[in-house]
């Protein structure tokens, strides 16, 4: 079950990464925002894209390490906290609460929380 959840999480990561690539293109074309603000948003978005695609990579190709090593569990916690913090930001910081963004962030958090809480079954 844990490996299936990580694969599902990886699919979400790819979709969110592609969304942020599109968002970066949109940021680049915003004329109503100052050049400095656009540059900062673009730089932060590129960093976010790198993180999200890294999370996709480890979710697809490093399942064993994520589930069995200390660094793997730390990465799971990082993914979980990133999406929980984004859900909290949607409620507390951003104007105009977006239900879809909030739901996706909570859902992805839950996908990565389960492997941390449910012990792996020993092989049969």
- Report yes or no on whether pTM surpasses 0.95: no
Tokens of 79: 């993914």
**Which residue range is the domain that position 17 belongs to?**
2-117
Residue 19 lies in a domain: yes
Residue 122 lies in a domain: no
Residue 123 lies in a domain: no
pLDDT digits (tens, 9 = 90+) for 14-67: 999 999 999 999 988 888 889 999 999 999 999 999 999 999 999 999 999 999
Distance CA 47, CA 57 (A): 15
Q: How many domains does the chain have?
A: 1
Residue 57 lies in a domain: yes
Query: Residue 84: CB partners within 8 Å, gap ≥ 6?
Result: 105, 106, 109
Distance CA 56, CA 58 (A): 6
């Amino acid at each position: 079950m844990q490996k299936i959840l990580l694969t599902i999480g990886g699919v979400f990561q790819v979709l969110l990464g592609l969304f942020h690539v599109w968002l970066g293109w949109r940021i680049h074309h915003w004329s109503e925002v100052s050049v400095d603000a656009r540059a900062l948003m673009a730089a932060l978005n590129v960093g976010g894209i790198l993180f999200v695609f890294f999370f996709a990579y480890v979710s697809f190709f490093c399942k064993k390490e994520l589930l069995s090593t200390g660094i793997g569990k730390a990465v799971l916690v990082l993914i979980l906290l990133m999406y929980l913090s984004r859900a909290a930001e949607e409620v507390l910081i951003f104007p105009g609460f977006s239900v879809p963004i909030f739901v996706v962030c909570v859902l992805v958090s839950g996908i990565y929380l389960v492997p941390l809480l449910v012990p792996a079954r020993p092989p049969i």
